[in-house]
Amino acid sequence: MIEDEKMLSVPETAALCGVTRSTINNWIKDKKLYATRSGRNYAVLAKEVLIFLKSTGREIPSELERDDLNGPLFKNFQYCWDYPKNTEHEEGCKSCVVSDKKLDVCFTARGSSELACTVECCECRYYQEIYLPRIQFIHQLDFPAAVCRRLSFWGVNSRWAAMNRIPQKEFLGMEMERVIHPNSLERVISAIRKMELGESLRMTFNIFLKSETKGKQEASISFFPLNEPPGTFLFLAKLENKTQITNKSQ
């Protein structure tokens, strides 16, 4: 079985998929199959081939068979400025703070005037293909749920958005202090740091969230570390009062 991280040449990829080299080159040119430059030629990760074949319903070669093939398959993480995009966008990336500062999560710079990207994050192909598949599971949860890394949100479900009365798309890259009340922020930060260090801690405790109408509202929060995306964690919330949380997106 070929390892996920093995790089394949275009001829090797063509032989593996049972197609011609020109077909592989066309897939790469049309941005259907992600590849990187290796000298004058292209190289493709075996994992990317597997993802492409599975997503297009093509036959999976025995060399790429995996025990967890029925589980989720994600594209490898890439910097946004290295992601395939049109030439006009690439020019903007050169002057963008994300590229200049080598930020690994572009949408955490949404509030910066130096951000060159003008596309809404929720409509961005890069976000939709790299980040969204990894957090889509939260939309199936009945509780308010959010995926965060350190002190920034990566995405929330509609119940979480309704709880805070903030549109879902506004949460991409939002700082946690905009949601967590100052009375509870220190406790949450301490829990996150301990979790990052692998320390065992009480995973559920009560905190206060900011509230436009009441100033603050008490909620029971549960933390769960996630393997994908790396270094992220899941927030599950339950309000301690009788407030109804609807499933309507705002």
Q: What is the pLDDT of residues 210-247, one digit of tens each?
A: 987 778 999 999 988 888 777 899 999 998 764 444 44
Nearest to 154 by CA among 71, 140, 137: 137
**Of all residues in the chain, what percent carry a pLDDT higher than 90?**
32
pLDDT in tens, 158-181: 999 999 889 999 999 999 999 999
Domain boundaries, the chain: 7-64, 80-133, 135-239
Q: Where are the alpha helices (DSSP H) in 8-45?
A: 10-17, 21-29
Token couple for 61: 């070669």
pLDDT in tens, 10-27: 988 988 888 898 999 999
Token couple for 192: 């996150």
Strands (E), the chain: 7-9, 36-38, 41-45, 145-149, 152-156, 204-211, 215-225, 233-239
Q: Do domains 7-64 and 135-239 have the same CATH topology?
A: no
CATH topology of domain 7-64: Multidrug-efflux Transporter Regulator; Chain: A; Domain 2 (1.10.1660)
Token couple for 120: 């809404």
Q: What are phi and psi of 239, to 5 degrees?
A: -65, 140
- 144 falls in which pLDDT band (50, 70, 90)? very high
Nearest to 147 by CA among 51, 19, 237: 237
What pTM was estimated for this model as a whole? 0.72
CATH topology of domain 135-239: Beta-Lactamase (3.30.450)
In 10 A of CB 152, how many CB atoms? 17
